[in-house]
Amino acid sequence: MTEQQDILSGKSSTSVIFPGDRANIVQRFLTTTRTADEFASYFTEDASFRFANAPEVVGRKAIHESSVAFRQKLKSVTHDIKSMWEMGDVVVCEMEVTYTRHDGKTLKIPCCDIIRFDEINLIRSLQAFLDISPLFSS
């Protein structure tokens, strides 16, 4: 395992990481972003964001608003990156997302994100593929 793998996963694992500048941005985005303002700041003004089965959200302001609404439903969210590949302007990230609800229940859900960047390394498109239905069932 390389030092880069330790940094990206946050722990020792058998992660497969093909790092690059954009993969490093994704790592920071997923592991250090705590507020809707920080979250939205990674996107272009006209970016698109599709989370699970929700309708696509377009524009930094709309992405910010959807982040605020989603975060209010949860106590916390953390990301454990398992694998990440950077290919040109695209980063694919496989992870396990831990959601903690306000009632204290914690769920770990597998997720795969496809993230496309613009020429100045802002996110222009993010698609998060996961099933969050267990999160809101009893």
pLDDT tens-digit profile of 78-121? 999 999 999 999 999 999 999 999 999 999 999 999 999 999 99
Residue found under tokens 């939205």: 40
On the question of pLDDT at 56 being above 50, the answer is yes
Share of the chain above pLDDT 70, in %: 86
Q: For the chain, which residues make up each domain, given as ranges?
A: 3-133
On the question of pLDDT at 8 being above 60, the answer is no
Residue found under tokens 């997720």: 111
Could you please state the CATH topology (level 3) that the domain comprising 3-133 is classified under. Answer: Nuclear Transport Factor 2; Chain: A, (3.10.450)
State how far the Cα of 109 lies from the Cα of 97, in Å rounded to an integer: 5
State how far the Cα of 124 lies from the Cα of 27, in Å rounded to an integer: 16
